[in-house]
Amino acid sequence: MANNNSGSPEGFTALGPGKTFSVFPFFALVFVSWLVWIPAGARMAGKLPFYFPTEIPWVGVFMPFFFGTYFIYRYGGKEGLRIHFARFIKWRFKPFY
Amino acid sequence: MPLVAAATAVIFSYAADPILADGWARLMDGSVMTGSLERYNGNAYESTRFFTGLNAWMATSAGAFIVGSLLLGFVDGGISEEPGWRGFAYPILQDRWGALPAALLIGLVWAGWHLGPRQWAILFGDGTGAFFAFLPGYAATYVLGVTPLAIIFAWLYENTGGSLLAVFLVHNSFNQTSTTVGFLFPDAPVILGIIAFLWIMVIVILVTRDWRAFGRARKRRALPVE
């Protein structure tokens, strides 16, 4: 289960000793966005010979969300997802710094 | 404090310029809203229904425009990006290399990812010569603009105890502000101003907010043990 590191800010939890995780698969996979942005560019240039709805390129914007969440689930399981989504609504912070 | 200092520096840099007065006039006469809607409509051509419907609703009143813009900005850029860059990648790299190197690396990758449809439109529309002439400046603009954002957002993430909500809000705020400033000052070098503003913020953060602590590795893990 999750355990907090001493001295860590609230909300950060430990992976445990000896565990390392790579972010490079994430860095590579977010570029899946380009698979929809390249045809979107062709559409903008008027060179795409078929209908290409605006909603499709917008999906590309969400690749960091999708793959970030996927890898958190893969590495951290359901507890990782719980902590991850709790940060979406973590509203207790100072208004000024 | 960093925001106030950076904003003050930028405002002083524009204060003596009549462009500033023209910008405020555009804000008051509604041309910012009109310009934004035209851009939204331009982006939404060939929409199935969602964007055309949303844009039509946003055009009904200033209140609908503001609400729609804020919601779109919160989702597009905030929720769509930050769970990956700050929520997943940053804590792992921060744990390994420290906050500043982690933020810099993410900034570079994030900038590369941001090179969206526009460059491809030039490739398909104008050919490879135009593409390779356009790409270096376009990429440099993104690297110079996105890298300081990665540092600022990492600093924010650290100082809010890992709140993605705070980063969503500031990401949205940046997107809305930079878009609005672009419409306010169409004849000014807005992109250069924004990049300068961001780097001033980074310098102020690093100088006044314990850059040593921010820069060095602190053992802090992002994910739970199973």
A50 reaches B (C-beta below 8 A): no
The string over B42-64, giving b where at least 16 C-beta atoms fall within 10 Å of a residue's C-beta and e elsewhere, is ebbebbeeebbebbeebeeeeee
Which residue on chain A is closest to B46 by alpha carbon?
A: A53
Q: What is the DSSP letter of B77?
A: I
Which residue on chain A is closest to B48 by alpha carbon?
A: A53
Asked if the Cβ–Cβ distance from B46 to A69 is below 8 Å, we say no
- One-letter amino acid of B180: T
**CA–CA min distance B122, chain A (Å):** 7
For B43-92, what is each residue's pLDDT tens digit? 777 777 888 888 888 888 888 888 888 888 888 888 999 999 999 999 88
The residue with greater pLDDT, B33 or B28, is: B33
Residues of chain B neighbouring A75 (CB-CB closer than 8 A): 223
Nearest CB to B84 within list A26, A47, A51: A26
- Burial environment of residue A96 by CB neighbours within 10 A (0 to 12, 13 to 18, 19 or more): exposed
- Burial environment of residue B168 by CB neighbours within 10 A (0 to 12, 13 to 18, 19 or more): buried
Calculated CA dihedral for residues B194, B159, A65, A63, nearest 10 degrees: 40
Along the 97 residues of chain A, how does pLDDT read in single tens digits?
Answer: 333 333 333 334 434 444 667 899 999 999 999 888 898 888 888 888 888 888 888 889 999 999 999 999 888 888 888 889 999 998 877 777 6
Asked if the Cβ–Cβ distance from B161 to A11 is below 8 Å, we say yes
Indicate the length of chain B as a whole number: 226
For B149-204, what is each residue's pLDDT tens digit? 999 999 888 888 889 999 999 999 898 888 888 887 777 788 898 999 999 999 98
**CA–CA min distance B187, chain A (Å):** 24
Nearest to B112 by CA among A65, A57, A45, A33: A33
- Burial environment of residue A1 by CB neighbours within 10 A (0 to 12, 13 to 18, 19 or more): exposed
Nearest CB to B79 within list A30, A44, A65: A65
